[in-house]
Structure 1
């Protein structure tokens, strides 16, 4: 069984994001980039499935500029067997990415597509669900445990009331949550091995996909700075301020 793992190159989670001076977007010049943490969890889970014998091949996929090759090499250092880069300079939105992944699903015929539930740069949480709809595949989102056996994936997900367990027939789409696993540390020997693994580069037009943006960003601004709090002498004053100034009661 092949496992397809889409990964996204994003601003590293330790970096404080800055908005461009003209408010057109986020400034990524000379900023450290890394693999989206949720996607790293997805790669780790795919590699674990291979180590258990449930999968035979792990294919990492990324969409974006040539620099995404670094992210794919990281995925191969974790344990992916090969990688595909869909190279484009266009700003990619979730629907465009889902269409690209659908084309690759048709081409590669994986038994499972496993990806992060969302990217930490746009927090859209849409790509997995859109892919499942376009490819007409069953989906299980926010997975905190995944087991594959007998042509089915059993997925445990956290919901408000506790845990929910879903059984989906393969092929299927699974999106990962933080508690699914802890990705392994990438060692230097594995980084060196990853350089020799195959990395295929294609263009969206090679897959017959139109990636033009459907949404237009009007303005990007930083959230307003939080004002300092105040101390009140007693409960009566607090209630008065909540009622007359904050108007929340």
Structure 2
């Protein structure tokens, strides 16, 4: 079984995001970038499936600038076998990402595609579902457990009322939630080995995909600063203050 894992290069989750002075977007100059945390979970799950003998090869793919190769190297250091970089300096929207991934899937013929449920930069939570629709494959989203057996993927997913278990016939799409696993730290020997693992470079045009944006950003602003709280003596005072602020 071959597992394909898309990974995205995003601003590191520990970094405080700054808005550009002209409010045209987020300032990326001299900002630490890293792999999307949900994608780290996807890579970890794919590597664990390989370690269990349920998968033979783990292929990681990233769509982005040349620097996204660093993100692929991180995934290779975690245990993936090879990488594919779809090189573009454009901001690629979820539908275009799904179309590119469809082309990659058709070229690679994986039995399972594991994606993070969303990226922490745009929080779209769309790519996995769109890819499943384009491929007409079964999907299990927000997975908290994945078990492969007899050519099927048993996916336990988190829903509002608790847990739901789905049985998917492979090939299938799975998107990962936070509680699926805890990603490993890449060891120094594995980081050195990852430098020798192959990364193929492609372009969106190789898959016949136009990455021109369909959305335009009007303005980006920082959230308003929260006001400091205050203590009140009793419930009556609390209610009167809430009324004064129009909260009730």
> What is the TM-score of this pair, normalised by structure 2?
0.98
How far is 1:229 from its partner? 2.2
Q: Equivalent residue for 1:117?
A: 117
Gaps of 5+ in 1: none
Q: TM-score, normalised by structure 1?
A: 0.97
Does residue 1:9 correspond to 2:24, yes or no?
Answer: no
SS at 1:4's partner residue? Answer: strand
Mapping 1:1-249, distance limit 5 Å: 1-242=1-242, 244-249=243-248
CA offsets, 1:58-96, max 9 Å, x none? 000000100000000000000110000000111111111
Q: Give unpaired runs (5+ residues) of structure 2.
A: none
The RMSD of aligned alpha carbons is: 0.9
CA distance in 2, matches of 1:145, 1:93: 28
Shift of 1:158: 1.5
What displacement does 1:144 show? Answer: 0.4
Q: Secondary structure at the match of 1:21?
A: coil
Instruction: Give the C-alpha shift of residue 236 in structure 1.
Output: 1.1
Look up the SS of the partner of 1:71 in the other structure. helix
Q: Distance in 1 between matches of 2:216 and 2:197?
A: 38
Secondary structure of 1:221's aligned partner: coil
C-alpha separation in 2, matches of 1:216 and 1:20 = 16
SS in 2 for 1:47: helix
